[in-house]
Amino acid sequence: MQLNEPDQRIVQYIEAGRDRFIADLKEWLAIPSVSGDPAYATEVRRSAGWLTEYLRGQGFPTVEIWDTPGLPAVYAEWPAADPSAPAVLVYGHHDVQPVEPLDEWDTAPFEPVEDGDRLIGRGASDDKGQVLFHTLGIRAALAASGAGAPPVTVKLLVEGEEESGSVHFADLLRDRRDRLRCDAVVISDTTMWAADVPSMCTGMRGLTEAEVTLRGPSSDLHSGSFGGAVPNPLHAMAALMAALHDADGRVTLPGFYDDVVPLTDEERALFAKLPFDEDEWLRTAGGSRAAYGEKGHTTLERVWARPTAEINGMWGGHTGPGGKTIVPREAHAKISFRLVAGQEPAKVQQAFRDWVAANTPHGVEAEVHIPGGGVRPCFSPIDSPAVKAARRAMERAFGREVLFTREGGSGPEADLADVLDAPLIFVAVGLDDDRIHAPNEKVEIPLLLKGAEAAAYLWEELATALR
């Protein structure tokens, strides 16, 4: 592996700018932009206003507040000097999680403090710190090159509702699709494997959900009088749900795996390089007693790169205290499918409908309800030009090999990939132990500065790669 030497001009620029950068970030973190609580709507707007002023001050020629029926996003643009240069959109968000339980914080969540290398406060890692390192990065790159504009057109979209479900985000993307047109999307809202194991995410699983209702008699029956002689919808449901997987843990829907893009040998080898402690992972998995899943795949492959069918809820009959000897009239189950590269939610939905119809026993009536179109998986192959370019930038900043991860679920990223039809690149420096969404959220300041450095290298790399 051949790594490029760091650009000392960039390193020094970032070092020199560190204190000012942290001071600015602290000012922003002090604004309690909790999007999930309507009482803080004004603060979310104030956060958008702060960011607008800040980005103007950093030199972005275009900065706008984009209103939604909910809370505002901030959009900024710094065009490349060459109008034919590629465009890259950076995605992040300026709203934060609620801070409850307050008494578990060691410091006030909206009075950020430095503790050695750490900056503590709500939003430090998720996601204000990771949005802001891009400004330091782009200014370092411009200072080092002496140019007046970046080598790609940099667009910045900073959402205000990510922590409350991004409910208006897809519409915003569709409405502004022309302004947002780009050749790649850089996501800076995730984590690396570890401080000493830099990594990039290359895919997120999609999702489609379904609810099945099985109906038998029109009312609950006395099991003394009728038990053993009429179909019991709970038996039918148990049999149906048990048949959803085979003995190897594979989903049995016909055609379910047909379109799956398999992991390459290289990606599997790079996953295997990640220092993964399965016992420790099981502890984070609610103390699960054993790993379990599709045969022939490791735990990381299962959660990142393999599709699943999961029963999220199941119910029917008597569920209260004591006994009630009935044949129940109905049984219900909620199922969700995680989808991976190549799979289409609509196709899986149809396969599930067909499968339920084919596997419902005589005498039981089945109804399948599918809420919405689902979320498509997103995926950027590790050998794609954009991912390779970003990896070079990250490796140059961190001075070591950058490995790959994926994410098991997805949020607004899927909308970005879908609506803008551009590959996603994940350049992020959060850590799993940053306690995002929890008391005492922090970020590692040295990693934020590495993020700025990677961002500084990124535009030149992408300018070449995407041309």
Report the nearest approach of its own copies to the CB of residue 283 (Å). Answer: 10
Contacting residue, 100, 365, 367, 383, with its own copies by CB under 8 A: 365
Residue 33 vs 208, nearer CB to its own copies: 208
Q: Does 334 bind its own copies (CB under 8 A)?
A: yes
Q: Please answer whether residues 440 and 106 qualify as being in contact, where contact means their C-beta atoms are separated by less than 8 angstroms.
A: yes
Q: Please answer whether residues 163 and 96 qualify as being in contact, where contact means their C-beta atoms are separated by less than 8 angstroms.
A: yes
Q: Does 273 bind its own copies (CB under 8 A)?
A: no
CA distance 292 to 290: 6
- Using CB under 8 A as the binding rule, the residues of this chain from 288 to 327 that contact its own copies are 288-294, 299, 302-303, 306-308, 310-319, 322-327
Q: What does the longest C-alpha to C-alpha distance in the chain come to?
A: 88
Residue 246 vs 258, nearer CB to its own copies: 246
Cα dihedral sign, 462-339-291-437: positive
Q: Does 366 bind its own copies (CB under 8 A)?
A: no
- Residue 145: both structure tokens together: 């090159």
Report the nearest approach of its own copies to the CB of residue 97 (Å). Answer: 15
For residue 145, with 0-12 CB atoms within 10 Å meaning exposed, 13-18 middle and 19 or more buried, which class applies?
A: middle
**Other CB atoms within 10 Å distance of the CB of residue 211:** 16
- Using CB under 8 A as the binding rule, the residues of this chain from 186 to 205 that contact its own copies are 205
Strands in 330-339's sheet, in edge-to-edge order, are 330-339, 206-215, 365-369
Q: Please answer whether residues 387 and 394 qualify as being in contact, where contact means their C-beta atoms are separated by less than 8 angstroms.
A: no
User: What per-residue string of b and e applies to 384-403 under the rule 16 or more CB within 10 Å gives b?
Assistant: bbbbebbbbbbbbbbeeebb
Contacting residue, 39, 279, 287, 295, with its own copies by CB under 8 A: 287
Contacting residue, 156, 221, 386, 427, with its own copies by CB under 8 A: 221
CA distance 344 to 451: 34
My answer on whether omega of the bond before 101 falls inside 30° of 0, hence cis, is yes
Backbone φ, ψ for residue 132 (5° rounding): -70, -25
Report the nearest approach of its own copies to the CB of residue 108 (Å). Answer: 28
Contacting residue, 149, 237, 425, 458, with its own copies by CB under 8 A: 237
Report the nearest approach of its own copies to the CB of residue 362 (Å). Answer: 5
The SS3 call for residue 131 is helix
Residue 150 vs 233, nearer CB to its own copies: 233
Q: Does 328 bind its own copies (CB under 8 A)?
A: yes
Q: Does 286 bind its own copies (CB under 8 A)?
A: yes
Q: Does 358 bind its own copies (CB under 8 A)?
A: no
Range in contact with its own copies (rule: CB under 8 A) among 88-96, 178-186, 188-196, 284-292:
284-292
Q: Does 364 bind its own copies (CB under 8 A)?
A: yes
Backbone φ, ψ for residue 443 (5° rounding): -135, 150
Q: Does 234 bind its own copies (CB under 8 A)?
A: yes
- Using CB under 8 A as the binding rule, the residues of this chain from 16 to 75 that contact its own copies are none
Residue 61 vs 227, nearer CB to its own copies: 227
Cα dihedral sign, 121-125-128-132: positive
Contacting residue, 57, 371, 373, 399, with its own copies by CB under 8 A: 371
Each residue 415-444 as x (binds its own copies by CB under 8 A) or -, in order, gives ------------------------------
Q: Does 406 bind its own copies (CB under 8 A)?
A: no
Query: Site size for its own copies, by CB under 8 A?
Result: 81
Q: Please answer whether residues 192 and 429 qualify as being in contact, where contact means their C-beta atoms are separated by less than 8 angstroms.
A: yes
- DSSP strand E in 106-220: where? 113-115, 118-120, 153-159, 184-187, 199-204, 206-215
Residue 81 vs 291, nearer CB to its own copies: 291
- Using CB under 8 A as the binding rule, the residues of this chain from 338 to 357 that contact its own copies are 338
Residue 49 vs 98, nearer CB to its own copies: 98
Contacting residue, 16, 81, 243, 272, with its own copies by CB under 8 A: 243
